[in-house]
Amino acid sequence: MKSARSAFTLPELLTVLAVVVVLAAILFPVFRSAKASAYRTTCASNFRQVQIATLMYLNDYDDRFMPVNHFPALAPNPKIDRTWVQLLLPYVASFPLFKCPSDYARNADSEGVFDESLVLGDTHMRYYYSSLRVNVGYNYLYYSPVLNNGAGWEVQTRSLSQVNDAARALLFVDSVYGRTKSGAPYGGGSYVVIPPCRFYRQGRFLIDSFDLPRGADVFVANRGWNVEDPNSPFRFGLAWPWHDGRMNMARVGGGTISITTDILAAGCDLKPNWMGIIDDNGVYFWDWN
């Protein structure tokens, strides 16, 4: 005697599919959050290693910070120039430490692209263009400003002893290279970032926190944050919150914290073209002095 074959009825199948959809709706955000948390942790670990590499560099070079470039005022020229990233390469395990795993806007890396300027034995030359697109943005205007006293542009690195509060001072922060008209990031990161404010009051006078020699000009990619254009890459001075609205920041004296863009501008009365005043130097991260 044959038994009847059992099968799912349509209502049962729809019920199972509904359960699967509900579970997916519950679990996918959890998986996404866990993945983002892992990326943020990896990025913070990378920042710590780059910060340690900086301390090693300082120890080897009489407590002087890395030059942002040898020739930053010139058009990029891998034949003669070196960036601060390339100068730190001997102190880190690998170049990928300078990249954020959350950066989904990076172009194809150029490390493997043949460069006619390559010199036999010079293994760092091929990293030049990629070093300009790293996600570790250097607070160079305070630690390695490019000055012009009338005789041409030159890099004047600062000393670690000039940093009064190394435990608080910002050294590196997550960065972005560019943004589309819709505001989406593209091109990876930027090896430098720009502070939101520059001057503070001392009585009736405005004091330049960059501490430039009299009559000197400083080379900058942009004068402050672009608060008028929300889609500009300079909206946060080339800094960028890759981690669900937050970004990693490494301090000079050690330690990496996760912050928001609001905290990044704390202590600064933010206005275009550095017209805002540093009104609370106790919480302003950028100032080295």
Q: Per-domain residue ranges for the chain?
A: 11-274
Please tell me which residue, 223 or 22, carries the higher pLDDT value.
223
Chain-centroid distance of CA 253 in Å reads: 17
Q: What is the CA radius of gyration of the chain?
A: 24
> Which of 23-37, 93-107, 243-257 tops mean pLDDT?
243-257
Q: Identify which of 170, 22, 157, 29 has the alpha carbon closest to the alpha carbon of residue 84.
A: 157
> Could you count the other beta carbons within 10 Å of the beta carbon of residue 44?
19
pLDDT of residue 214: 82
pTM for the complete prediction?
0.85
Q: In this predicted structure, what is the pLDDT of residue 213?
A: 85
Has residue 112 got a pLDDT over 50?
Answer: no
